[in-house]
């Protein structure tokens, strides 16, 4: 099996997992961080799916269209990395741990 196919599957699974991170009741996150997780999940799954379909040769493109799609996918990956870096640098990737007394109420 091609290593690109495995990487694409890992990207799809990882982005799907990131979509569920904001729903963790043990961590507190601001609203923009929850939105960023959702954006990363949706765009990442779409990006990984297009890459997987291209690697599996489900569609073929001419040389110019192939070059444009490749450039677009690189830009989308850069946007995803930008959102991830913003979450990392702001400390919202891990969130703040909620106290046990507020979990009970």
Cβ–Cβ under 8 Å, residues 78 and 44: no
Work out how many domains the chain is built from and give that number: 1
Specify the pLDDT at position 100: 67
- Mean pLDDT over the full length of the chain: 90
Is 88 part of any domain? yes
Residues in the chain: 105
- The residue segments making up the domain with residue 26 are 3-97
What's the whole-model pTM score? 0.86
Is 17 part of any domain? yes
Is 25 part of any domain? yes
Is 52 part of any domain? yes
Is 21 part of any domain? yes
Is 102 part of any domain? no
Specify the pLDDT at position 105: 53
Q: Which residues pair with 96 in a beta bridge?
A: 28
Sorting pLDDT into bands at 50, 70 and 90, what band is 2?
Answer: confident
Specify the pLDDT at position 102: 57
Is 105 part of any domain? no
Lowest mean pLDDT among 27-31, 79-83, 95-99: 95-99
Report the phi/psi class of residue 24: left, alpha or beta, with left for phi > 0 and alpha for psi in -120 to 50. beta
Specify the pLDDT at position 24: 82
């Amino acid at each position: 099996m091609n290593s690109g196919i495995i990487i694409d599957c890992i990207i799809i699974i990882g982005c799907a997992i990131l979509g569920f991170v904001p729903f963790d009741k043990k961590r507190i996150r601001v609203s923009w961080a929850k939105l960023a997780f959702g954006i990363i999940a949706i765009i990442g799954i779409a990006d990984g799916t297009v890459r997987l379909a291209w690697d599996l040769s489900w569609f073929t493109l001419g040389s110019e269209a192939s070059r444009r799609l490749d450039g677009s996918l690189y830009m989308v990956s850069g946007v995803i990395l930008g959102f991830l870096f913003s979450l990392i640098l702001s400390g919202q990737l891990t969130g703040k741990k909620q106290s046990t007394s507020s979990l009970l109420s």
